């Protein structure tokens, strides 16, 4: 349970807020590369409560600039892409990817007006199908050598989806290891061989047990949380027999991402990126340690749940998330279909736009959430005080930060730590790209 002031402190991210100041110290996903693979690559973006426009100029450079034209405020998202920049459709002012005004064509020939006009702009980098932006002061931090960033393009797939609530309650689902036994419970197990691209449908590594069965049958796991240089590593332990332990290792990548196992060959690295205080996008990089990713199939599956152009959820509070009470009796615990993104959408959006944490009652199974909030509050204080918070890495530290291991498998109960480390090393060794990382 938090005070109302503490809840505001850790959830609100607009310009000038304490958590907003912290979140601006990191690269944040702003758009998918796919969204700009169109004839006219210009798209409005609302990010951390700021209205921006992202574009790719006619030389292939990405720009992210404030959306309202600095002349008289018209919407640059309707601008013309030409002459090395984005041109406002109202009076033709032209802006480069760095926000510099390059032309004011209605002004006299020798007018110096545009020289002193610079639209607010933010740097953009492309990584594994996502365009990351840096909205903070000074030099951006370096991105860690995480698997999702170093895997070749053929082994990654990026996608996103809108969630209609504050970013923190969505992130807290990802670091809550027991909800999978309930929220994502399937009453029957699908054939793992038919589960390509779907979450939790594979067998746990080194076993014949479907992940869905383990989670359904073992609802009181032991949770071990370790604070790490990147945030937290969470080991969730389910004793599945006298001798065997199910070990699921997930990670919090500070401040607003996590890395979890999806199947034996794939992990998901997922950010919860604030659109503003009451909406967030999940951005995920699916990373395969086995075969190249079938991107068309992965995209097809996810477009059944999300609608273009804004990746909005087809099932949402306006249609009761597709809730079917009959299905709730014999198909899934929620009665909201098989896509776990819908389950998570319901769980988080139904808490309210910003969860009122003055009314919550956390238990021992929420220990990872408690520890994360402590780390978050420390980092907020550091950012406010001008210190360097966790994960604002320099190039050397970023190069040395690899992994993280994200494993779901069954090994000997008495040596479960050694088991998952060996399982991770084995998978890397067998991978065409991950050996040595
Ligand atoms: S409002 Fe944009 S050029 Fe005039």
Divide the 437 residues of the chain into consecutive groups of 10 and give the mean pLDDT of each group: 95 97 98 97 98 96 98 98 97 98 96 96 98 97 98 98 97 93 91 84 87 93 97 97 96 98 95 98 98 97 96 96 95 93 95 97 95 98 94 97 96 96 96 88
| Residue 115: exposure state from Cβ atoms within 10 A (0-12, 13-18, ≥19) | exposed
Ligand 1 pocket: which of 53, 70, 72, 117 to mutate (most atoms <8 Å of CB)? 72
**How many angstroms does the Cα of residue 98 sit away from the middle of ligand 1?**
18
Instruction: Locate 387 and state its tokens.
Output: 């210190």
User: What H or E segment, with its residue span, contains residue 43?
Assistant: strand 42-47
Ligand 1 pocket: which of 67, 71, 104, 111 to mutate (most atoms <8 Å of CB)? 71
Residue with token string 């006298």: 242
The verdict on the CB of residue 71 being under 6 Å from ligand 1 is: yes
**How many angstroms does the Cα of residue 94 sit away from the middle of ligand 1?**
9
Residue 132 makes CB contacts below 8 A (sequence gap 6+) with: 27, 28, 29, 30, 124, 125, 126, 143
**How many angstroms does the Cα of residue 262 sit away from the middle of ligand 1?**
48
Q: Say if residues 201 and 192 touch (Cβ distance below 8 Å).
A: yes
Cα separation values, 299 from 159, 161, 324, 338, Å:
8, 12, 26, 16
Q: Output the residue whose Cα is nearest ligand 1's atom 3.
A: 91
Res 5: pLDDT:
96
Helices (H), 183-225: 211-217
**How many angstroms does the Cα of residue 34 sit away from the middle of ligand 1?**
29
Instruction: Report which of 140, 135, 171 is spatially closest to residue 388, judged by C-alpha positions.
Output: 140
The verdict on the CB of residue 72 being under 6 Å from ligand 1 is: yes
Res 404: pLDDT:
97
**How many angstroms does the Cα of residue 104 sit away from the middle of ligand 1?**
9
Which ligand 1 atom is at minimum distance from the Cα of 69? 2
**How many angstroms does the Cα of residue 92 sit away from the middle of ligand 1?**
6
The verdict on the CB of residue 75 being under 6 Å from ligand 1 is: no
Instruction: Report which of 46, 3, 5, 10 is spatially closest to residue 376, judged by C-alpha positions.
Output: 10
The verdict on the CB of residue 91 being under 6 Å from ligand 1 is: yes
Phi, psi of 200 (to 5 degrees): 65, 10
Question: Distance (Å, rounded) from C-alpha 56 to C-alpha 63?
Answer: 6
The verdict on the CB of residue 90 being under 6 Å from ligand 1 is: yes
**How many angstroms does the Cα of residue 359 sit away from the middle of ligand 1?**
48
pTM: 0.96
Residue 249, beta-bridge partner list: 235, 407
Res 143: pLDDT:
98
Question: Distance (Å, rounded) from C-alpha 355 to C-alpha 182?
Answer: 20
Residue 422 makes CB contacts below 8 A (sequence gap 6+) with: 411
Q: What is the pLDDT of residues 216-234, one digit of tens each?
A: 999 999 999 999 999 999 9
Pairing of strands 244-253, 407-412: antiparallel
**How many angstroms does the Cα of residue 41 sit away from the middle of ligand 1?**
20
Q: Say if residues 3 and 358 touch (Cβ distance below 8 Å).
A: yes
Q: Say if residues 84 and 96 touch (Cβ distance below 8 Å).
A: yes
Q: What share of the chain is helix, strand, coil (3-state, %, to 5)?
A: 30, 30, 40
Q: What letter would DSSP give residue 278?
A: T
Question: b/e per residue, 406-418, with b = 16+ CB within 10 A?
Answer: bbbbbbebeebee
**How many angstroms does the Cα of residue 65 sit away from the middle of ligand 1?**
14
Helices (H), 154-304: 167-174, 211-217, 295-303
**How many angstroms does the Cα of residue 36 sit away from the middle of ligand 1?**
24
Question: Distance (Å, rounded) from C-alpha 383 to C-alpha 379?
Answer: 6
Q: Where in the chain is the domain with CATH 2.102.10.10?
A: 32-134
Which ligand 1 atom is at minimum distance from the Cα of 104? 3
Instruction: Report which of 293, 252, 267 is spatially closest to residue 157, judged by C-alpha positions.
Output: 293
Question: b/e per residue, 41-63, with b = 16+ CB within 10 A?
Answer: bbbebebbbbebbbbbbeeeebb
**How many angstroms does the Cα of residue 75 sit away from the middle of ligand 1?**
8
**How many angstroms does the Cα of residue 287 sit away from the middle of ligand 1?**
43
CATH code of the domain made up of 32-134: 2.102.10.10
Res 192: pLDDT:
83
Is the preceding omega at residue 110 within 30 degrees of 0, hence cis?
Answer: no
Ligand 1 pocket: which of 74, 78, 106 to mutate (most atoms <8 Å of CB)? 74
Q: Output the residue whose Cα is nearest ligand 1's atom 4.
A: 91
Q: Say if residues 127 and 149 touch (Cβ distance below 8 Å).
A: yes
Res 194: pLDDT:
83
First-to-last alpha carbon distance for the chain, in angstroms, is 40
Ligand 1 pocket: which of 90, 95, 102, 117 to mutate (most atoms <8 Å of CB)? 90
The verdict on the CB of residue 299 being under 6 Å from ligand 1 is: no
Question: Distance (Å, rounded) from C-alpha 85 to C-alpha 94?
Answer: 6
Question: Distance (Å, rounded) from C-alpha 153 to C-alpha 156?
Answer: 5
Instruction: Locate 410 and state its tokens.
Output: 């069954």
Question: Distance (Å, rounded) from C-alpha 344 to C-alpha 346?
Answer: 5
The verdict on the CB of residue 93 being under 6 Å from ligand 1 is: yes
Q: What is the pLDDT of residues 322-334, one digit of tens each?
A: 999 999 999 999 9
Question: Distance (Å, rounded) from C-alpha 316 to C-alpha 235?
Answer: 32
Q: Say if residues 45 and 52 touch (Cβ distance below 8 Å).
A: yes
């Amino acid at each position: 349970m938090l005070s109302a002031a503490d809840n505001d402190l850790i959830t609100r991210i607009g310009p000038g807020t304490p958590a907003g100041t912290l979140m601006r110290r990191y690269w944040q996903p702003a758009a998918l590369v796919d969204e700009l693979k169109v004839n006219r690559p210009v798209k409005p973006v609302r990010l951390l409560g700021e209205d921006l426009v992202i574009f790719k100029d006619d030389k292939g450079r990405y720009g992210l600039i404030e959306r309202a034209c600095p002349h008289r405020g018209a919407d640059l998202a309707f601008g013309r892409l030409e002459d090395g920049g984005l041109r406002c459709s109202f009076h033709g002012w032209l802006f480069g990817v760095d926000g510099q005004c390059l032309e004011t064509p209605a002004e006299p020939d020798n007018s110096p007006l545009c020289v002193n006009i610079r639209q607010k702009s933010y740097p953009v980098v492309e990584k594994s199908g996502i365009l990351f932006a840096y909205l903070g002061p000074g030099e951006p931090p370096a991105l860690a050598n995480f698997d999702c960033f170093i895997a070749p393009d053929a082994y990654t797939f990026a996608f996103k989806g809108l969630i209609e609530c504050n970013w923190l309650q969505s992130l807290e689902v990802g670091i809550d290891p027991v909800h999978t036994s309930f929220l994502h419970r399937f009453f029957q197990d699908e054939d793992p061989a038919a589960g390509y691209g779907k979450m939790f449908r594979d067998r746990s590594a080194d076993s014949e047990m479907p992940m869905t069965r383990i989670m359904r049958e073992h609802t009181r796991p032991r949770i071990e949380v370790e604070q790490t240089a990147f945030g937290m590593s969470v080991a969730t332990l389910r004793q599945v027999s006298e001798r065997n332990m199910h070990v699921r290792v997930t990670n919090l990548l500070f401040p607003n991402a996590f890395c979890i196992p999806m199947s034996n060959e794939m992990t998901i690295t997922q950010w919860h990126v604030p659109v503003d205080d009451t909406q967030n996008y999940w951005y995920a990089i699916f990373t395969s340690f086995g075969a190249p990713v079938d991107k068309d199939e992965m995209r097809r599956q996810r477009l059944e749940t999300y609608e273009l152009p804004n990746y909005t959820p087809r099932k949402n509070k306006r249609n009761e998330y597709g809730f079917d009470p009959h299905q709730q009796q014999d198909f899934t615990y929620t009665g909201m279909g098989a896509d776990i993104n819908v389950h998570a959408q319901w769980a988080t959006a139904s808490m309210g736009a910003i969860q009122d944490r003055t009314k919550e009652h956390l238990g021992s199974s929420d220990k990872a959430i408690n520890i994360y909030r402590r780390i978050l509050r420390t980092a907020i204080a550091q950012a406010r005080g001008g210190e360097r918070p966790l994960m604002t890495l320099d190039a050397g530290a970023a190069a040395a930060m690899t992994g993280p291991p994200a494993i779901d498998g069954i090994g000997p109960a008495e040596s479960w730590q050694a088991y998952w480390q060996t399982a991770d090393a084995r998978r890397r060794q067998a991978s065409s790209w991950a050996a040595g990382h």
